[in-house]
Amino acid sequence: MTAAAHRPATLEDVARIAGVSRSTASRVVAGTGFASPAARERVAAAVDHLGYVPNPAARALVRGDGVRLVVAVAGTSAAVLDDPYVHRVVGSAARVCTPAGVGVALHWLPLGEPGSLGQLARDRSVCGVVLVNTTAELLDAVPRSLRGRVVSIGIGSADVPSFDVDNLSGAGEVLRHLYATGRRRIAMVTGPEWLPCSQRPVQAYRQLMRQAGLPERVLPGDFTAARGRAAAGEALRRWPDLDAVYAISDETALGVIASLRDRGVRVPGDVAVAGFDDIPLAAMTAPALTTASHPVGRIAVAAATAVLDGRPAAPETLFPSALVVRDSA
Amino acid sequence: MTAAAHRPATLEDVARIAGVSRSTASRVVAGTGFASPAARERVAAAVDHLGYVPNPAARALVRGDGVRLVVAVAGTSAAVLDDPYVHRVVGSAARVCTPAGVGVALHWLPLGEPGSLGQLARDRSVCGVVLVNTTAELLDAVPRSLRGRVVSIGIGSADVPSFDVDNLSGAGEVLRHLYATGRRRIAMVTGPEWLPCSQRPVQAYRQLMRQAGLPERVLPGDFTAARGRAAAGEALRRWPDLDAVYAISDETALGVIASLRDRGVRVPGDVAVAGFDDIPLAAMTAPALTTASHPVGRIAVAAATAVLDGRPAAPETLFPSALVVRDSA
DNA sequence: GTGAAAGCGCTAACAA
DNA sequence: TTGTTAGCGCTTTCAC
């Protein structure tokens, strides 16, 4: 790697220096096809000498396989793109895509406008799509041409493999823990109503409550701490005998705790609170948060890798969620 | 926008349908150069009819301007790429780059291996670089060929415009607040020692302590909550008369508070604790965290936009940091 | 095993 | 104002 040539080297330069044709140079650089050991060596030397770096855009153009992986987030407003969860997904995806010479783009998918997916499908620079917060409606609108290069973090469909945390059993574990520690008046703060993947934990909740003959108390949420604050007040007002709150996000749970504290309700003494995600700060709060783990990074990596590889993925890949018992419940 | 043609339309198709040449179609689609109103209209109709989406990769190839914006994070290990702060930067950058047809890539820049920047400079698919956690050494190693398309979030140089929070005055404000509320034995938990942009707050600290005739007590940190826990113990051991801790990240501050609480030290009664960033959860903890705001998203957006635009940016753009007084100090 | 040639989708001179 | 021509950097048949 020589000092910066002012114009970055191209494969043509490499070929010339190595005394071979561009085709041969291409074969050894891309590691595809045949080449004599001698040629191999001389090309390698030239690459090294020139500090040659292949241009993924040119390669993608000729092979027709795109240079951008799109993370497409469904939601009611573009504000969903500011969500910390989304940023974690994008960050992890970017890390995986970099070695492949692929960049990550971040799109908002307006609910009820499934047409925006067609746009992505017709953009030849898009090598694939990772859907986040999908709905059944959106899944149905996935164009044929996207098949095999689209996956979903959340619910999936026949055409769209899904990667998600096993939130059904995760929720079950948390709820059983609440029950086992004597809680009987358990309220749940859910995710947005339109979001299918937040329905699973609700199912788990309803089922368990029914089995145990306990009242079902569900409050809609949106994963934010602010909503947690509000929900706690509402819960207390509607159900004064409340002895536990299960929130579907750690942020929300912390909001619940903050609100409870402000009102002089002790946690976990009077009311136990549990969350979902196990964010790093969950261990630092007072009381430390009881929650269930959520390997967002690993899920995003798996989803992005599946798109990049282009191999047919399993219809559903579930990542385990583990109960983490701390102080709040 | 017709139902999905199986093969996405190209400019050629648009031109044919519109009955014009490819160049004319290109001119009206790209909005560059002349075209008669008639041509304009027919091309627009064809685009609409075909659902044509331009291929940014092809465009970038011919214009020589790259399809990826690289977020390059310096650090001692690749683990820096998992940092929530980095993810926020990547997420915000991705959002800005998407309309331009540019994807975001995430690179680790090993400390002491400035050569890795050359690699990026020679990759023609890279339209620009946003440096994060830069050092002077790295800045000096920025290749000429990157000039005009590289910026830094953190310290800058003659060739690299910097975008950063005004952490000097932010830190000053926090420290003055601590002093004004009667704290006199103030310890500071800093960022990594090799990281220049975390030195500014330390300067502010040392200067203020000196002016006030107070002891200087600095502990190295790494922005994590875990380090905060450890640092609190260390501080208590070395300086039993401690009455305040100023941590350079909210996570660290929350770790400090957790550790203090475990040891029976009351916050803010015995020891006040302040942080830096104002993460959303800072308002939810007990006690709620006193801190200074840090508009990471806006900074990242400005940095990415500057790279994308390619216009010469001001050598230094400072974003204001505001003191947020809550309960912990 | 290797090279010549064609072309991915697009833009930018240049001519008409 | 428009079309023709020549590529951008790379991969990939297809002959040799």
- pLDDT for the residue B4: 45
* CA–CA gap between residue B137 and residue B140 (Å, rounded): 5
Query: For A197-226, what is each residue's pLDDT tens digit?
Result: 888 899 999 999 999 999 999 999 999 999
- pLDDT for the residue A2: 46
As given in the structure block, the two tokens for residue B146 are 């990157």
* CA–CA gap between residue B115 and residue B120 (Å, rounded): 9
Rounded distance in angstroms from the CA atom of residue A208 to the C1' atom of nucleotide D2: 72
**Residue A134: strand, helix, or coil:** coil
As given in the structure block, the two tokens for residue B248 are 């350079």
Question: Do B97 and A103 make contact, defined as CB atoms within 8 angstroms?
Answer: yes
Rounded distance in angstroms from the CA atom of residue B12 to the C1' atom of nucleotide C13: 19
Which residues of chain B, if any, have pLDDT below 70? 1-5
Mutant choice from B61, B67, B120, B259 vs A, greatest count of A C-beta within 10 A: B67
- pLDDT for the residue B231: 97
Q: Tell me whether domains B3-52 and B64-165+296-320 share a fold.
A: no
CATH class of the domain defined by B3-52: mainly alpha
As given in the structure block, the two tokens for residue A300 are 């995003």
CA atoms within 13 Å, Cβ hemisphere of A196: 17
CATH fold of the domain at A167-292: Rossmann fold (3.40.50)
Which residues of chain A, if any, have pLDDT below 50? 1-5
- pLDDT for the residue A3: 40
- pLDDT for the residue B187: 98
- pLDDT for the residue A4: 45
Contact status, residue A156 vs residue A316, Cβ threshold 8 Å:
yes
Q: List the B272-274 sheet strands across, edge first.
A: B217-219, B186-189, B244-247, B272-274
Name the nt closest to B15 by C-alpha to C1'.
D3
CB contacts, 8 Å: B56 with chain A: 67-68, 123, 125
- pLDDT for the residue A114: 75
Annotated domain spans of chain A: 3-52, 64-165+296-320, 167-292
- pLDDT for the residue B226: 93
- pLDDT for the residue B115: 83
Name the nt closest to A24 by C-alpha to C1'.
C2
Rounded distance in angstroms from the CA atom of residue A21 to the C1' atom of nucleotide C5: 12
* A77 inside 8 A of chain B by CB: no
CATH class of the domain defined by B64-165+296-320: alpha beta
Question: Do A101 and B53 make contact, defined as CB atoms within 8 angstroms?
Answer: no
Q: What is the pTM of this model?
A: 0.94
Which of A308, A301, A269 is closest to A287 using CA atoms? Answer: A269
Decide the pairing of beta strands B291-292 and B323-324: antiparallel
B3 to chain A, minimum CA–CA distance in Å?
Answer: 9
* CA–CA gap between residue A126 and residue A68 (Å, rounded): 5
Backbone angles phi, psi at A104, to 5 degrees: -110, 135
> How is B100-136 classified by DSSP, letter by letter?
GT-EEEEEEEETT-TTHHHHHHH-TTEEEEEEES--H
- pLDDT for the residue B148: 94
CB contacts, 8 Å: A251 with chain B: 280-281, 284
